[in-house]
A and B are shown apart, each in its own frame.
Chain A
Amino acid sequence: MSNSFRTTNSTGLINKDKKINFTFNGTIYHGYEGDTLASALIANGVHLVGRSFKYHRPRGFLGVGVEEPNAMVQLHDGNKSEPNIIATEVELVEGLKAKSQNCWPSVQFDIGEINNVLNRFFPAGFYYKTFMWPKSFWMKIYEPFIRKAAGMGKAPLLPDPDRYEHNYEHCDVLVVGSGPSGLASALAAAKNGARVILAEDKPNFGGSLLTDEVTIGNMSGKEWASDTISQLKSMPNVILKKRSQVFGYYDHNMTVMIERVSDHIENPSKYTPRQRLHYIRAGEVIVSTGSIERPISFGNNDRPGIVLASAAKEYMKVYETLVGKKPIIFTNNDTAYSTALEFIKNDIEPIIVDTRDSSNGELVKEVQQKGISIKFNSGIADTKGHLKINSAIIGKLDSSKESFISEETVECDCICMSGGWTPTVHLSSQAGNKLKFNDDIDAFVPDKKRQKETAIGAANGSFTLNQSLAEGFQVGFDLSNKFTDQNNPTNSPNSNEPSYEKHEKLWCMPLPSGKKPKRFIDFQNDVAVSDVELAIREGFRSIEHVKRYTTLGMAGDQGKTSNLNGLQYVSKIEKKIVPEVGHTTFRPPYTPVTIGAIVGREVGNHYLPTRKSPIHTWHEENNAVFVAAGLWQRPRYYPMGSEDMNSAVNREAANVRKNVGICDVTTLGKIDIKGPDAPEFLNRVYTNAWLKLPVGKARYGVMLREDGMVFDDGTTSRLSENHFHMTTTTAQAANVLSHLEYYLQVVWPDLDVNVLSTTEQWSGIAVAGPKSRDLLSKLFPDVDMSNEGLPFMGLVDSSIDGIKARIYRISFSGELAYEVNVESNYGLYTWKKIMEVGQSFDIQPYGTEALSTLRIEMGHVAGAELDGRTIPFDVGLNSMVSQKKDFIGKRSLSKDAFTESDRQTIVGLVPLDKKTKIPEGSHIIEDNSAVAPIPKLGHVSSSCWSVEYNNPFSIAIIKDGKNKIGKNLYAVSPLKDISIPVEVVSSHYVDPEGSRVRS
């Protein structure tokens, strides 16, 4: 049966000289270059491709492109495996492996089909009704069962090995769709000098011109398409993109297009992306997306072999493939007769069933002239054939067309149906266009636009070639004129196509006598006419509710073939006109998009930018374990030998307390502040006073938000009269800069101050511990490091091996400490120099964990305490708040809640057993035997192992903390089922007088 459904002509777009082998459900087949998976399977007589979602009914191909609701397959194996791929959109490539999904054990024999036998137990809303009770059954019984029964393909569990890229494009005119109107508008716009992008989803440009028997000028439609493409290709202002689907239309004319770059290539080179996502900001968008044929609802209209008439024609004309050899054409309009004529051309006589009483269309006449009789005033009532259609019951319609007066059974192997055409308005609708209903074509068309978007051709409801071309040339010229001054219009050539008579407003056949077969509207979600009837009977009126209750139009195909038929049926039952029923919302993406393409290159290490200090390589060479601090990579600790984290951290912290440690603090935010009003500005930004800070001195400052919450803290130094150097926490560096800019530019533009980030210009190295003074004296022999020469919070400029260095005497560890700042390029050199000289002082590097331990022991607050929910009082910083001046956020501090006498405040906690570590985030309660809900006094913000006292120590913020010191409370973590008796102590656990920093 190999390729026994190929036609003998070679007028299509496949290359029969190049065979391509592929596997479907384990069987090896071959197709040809230019085939899709769908056309190759059909050519091999394979129609059964999958099982439907709910009833597991056998399903075949309905369409030939993006409209396909049934033929979803799982492609490839292992890490390249991809579920829910539409077989009509997959180009055949050597070695392609595909399999059916939603079936077990096989697509021919599927256990789930029992749902079909039991279908009367699975009406619309079945899940909502059945699994409501008892509530406790949901998680354990219903939900896992539904999950197992439902679902389409299987998502791969391995990381995606393919490469995806993003591209940003700008153009004057984006044309979406390369049918007659699209080509015409692109040509007109390009000839008028506009920068044009023409996007086509399929591998070939031309749209309907590839399948329609028409002439344009003195050429066939197909020739004209190819000639126009050649012209466009030669123009430097045009980008042509095939295999590219514009799937989303967002604000300000931002469209997004997915390009299938190498899916169709057998062995793409290593760095060729698989797909590319283009963000196109277009001046104007021309929506020439054509139209999609509508199916007709009739009994068992979902059997494999029942296809859209236009799809059957395209399979013949483009893919040289017959969907069947005993076809029935079933239509309510003239266009399906072109499919009939194509069968006749291939020496196959179709049976034609037309719901209308008659038609005088040219195509109809042509068919009749070939001696084919047409069953007018007839419809298909039912079909037979389990895995493939084998016969149809054709009925004669009564005058009301509400029932059949006689029925006959006719053998067939396919039915090509046509219910007329639906303009593809998705992009216009996404762009905010309010659609209007066009009674002539019984479909919605774009109306009032909100963005710079213009629908033309079939997408605009203009179904004739003449109209399409005229609109295309006119709109292409008009829109391009907005961007160029060439004023060079292109005339529309004469065209010729058959005339068509009007369709009949009939999309749902009556039931056959004595039977109630399912008449499907939405194939993918198994929504039948009876489901819509049920929804309305149960009181669902809004079309949005009917959609959600029945799931009509909610599947992966987003109702491309089903939405309008559903609407039409609702309006029929409700006896309303369609515009009164309205339509559901079109949302991006128009077609499914691979998640990998959306993510692009932002995976793994490229997920976020990585910031590294200039000293990073040294940390790596010295066994540092890194931790992310925002975008920065910071050394967390430096294990020696087989040390675990706890021992390494304790060793590093203890060495700072005993000898001297060195820590890379380059990541701290640094902001250079200059200008005559700089002191006044700082005075407004910080809670404490800044006007009288002497030159050469640093001061600790706290800044608030206007709501009174602590925003950030850090030390700021006065370098000269009008020049300050501010430091911020690593986490808030960018936010503080924006905050300062806001106040300078928006609130107090009269202040003459400039701010600039210098975080990356300075490398900071903290040297902390009792031996730090001796070490620095040796490093900077010219500087007087005594308490008099460089007192606490002093700073001095010096140099080391000719490198300019600024030394600040500031401390986060609570020990005697300094911070050496050098230009970033010298950071690594200076660090190494300090390490080298420091050897004789037992220097050791310490990471962020030891840094935390040291500051927690001292009761210094950090991000865990300054969490955006604490005012200065809460974190023991009330002494920093000036009573004499106003500053950002001050007025909030006098609000009632912030001045309550039992307001929360910071305390220290020590477990009574001096052993059990208190998890950060634990709740503090008074009585652990109380019955829930137990009042919560506060929470544990930071925990460490005190290297000074050799027991756990934590900082907590608790209600009325000041009066709780000395009391015993409980730290509980219900999630971990932990309850730890603790004693409340001062948060300043080590050196509460602060004598060490001043020693």
Chain B
Amino acid sequence: MLEIKCPYCGKRSQNEFSYGGDASIKRPQLGEEISTEDWDNFVYYRDNPRGKHSELWHHVSGCRQWFKVSRDTATHEIFDTCKMNEDFNV
């Protein structure tokens, strides 16, 4: 069980959180003309890196805030966590 530092609440066990996928994905603008391929890339296609991964987590059994986690997908090492409007320090 991972130990994740919520930027609002501090360190908590993984069972308080739910995973939210790749944090680098940007939703296309509303009303934007977009090709099917680009749209499919947004909806379906994700990188599956071995190593550092920037991802979203939701403190669903806590403060209910979404935030960013920089995690190694192979070792589970967490390098940093930050609020949505912040950038990682490392």
The chain A residues found within 8 Å of chain B, CB to CB, are 250-254, 279, 281, 432, 450, 684, 706-707, 737-738, 741-742, 745-747, 749, 886-887, 891-892, 895-896
Contact = CB atoms under 8 A, between A and B. Distances in A.
B64 A741 contact: yes
Interface string B68-90: 00000001101000001100000
Given A251-B76, A747-B27, 15 more contacts: A252-B2, A252-B3, A253-B3, A254-B13, A281-B13, A707-B43, A738-B18, A738-B58, A741-B66, A742-B20, A746-B20, A746-B66, A887-B30, A891-B39, A892-B43
B76 A252 contact: yes
Contacts of B42: 706
A719 to B, nearest CB: 22
Interface string B17-40: 010100000011011001010010
A598 to B, nearest CB: 14
Given A742-B58, A742-B66, A746-B66, A281 B3 contact: yes
B28 A891 contact: yes
A250 B42 CA distance: 34
Contacts of B75: 432, 450
Contact of B30 (A250, A281, A737, A886): A886
Contacts of A891: 28, 34, 39
Nearest to A734: B60
Nearest to B11: A281
Contact of A886 (B31, B76, B78): B31
B1 interface: yes
B1 A252 contact: yes
Given A707-B43, A738-B60, A892-B39, A745 B65 contact: yes
Contacts of B66: 741-742, 745-746
Contacts of A747: 27
Contacts of A895: 36, 39
A450 B72 CA distance: 12
Contacts of B34: 891
Nearest to A747: B27
A301 B15 CA distance: 48
Interface of B: 1-3, 13, 18, 20, 27-28, 30-31, 34, 36, 39, 42-44, 56, 58, 60, 64-66, 75-76, 78, 84-85
Nearest to A168: B13
Contacts of A684: 30
Nearest to B4: A252
B32 to A, nearest CB: 8
A896 B36 CA distance: 9
Contacts of B65: 741, 745
A845 B42 CA distance: 48
B28 to A, nearest CB: 7
Contacts of A745: 65-66, 84
Contacts of A250: 1
Contacts of B84: 745-746, 749
Nearest to B13: A281
Nearest to A256: B1
Contacts of B30: 684, 886-887
A895 B3 CA distance: 41
B58 A741 contact: yes
A833 B61 CA distance: 36
Closest 9 CB pairs of A and B: A252-B3, A886-B30, A745-B66, A886-B31, A251-B76, A254-B1, A891-B39, A747-B27, A706-B43
A896 B44 CA distance: 16
Contacts of A737: 64
Contacts of A742: 20, 58, 66
A246 B45 CA distance: 41
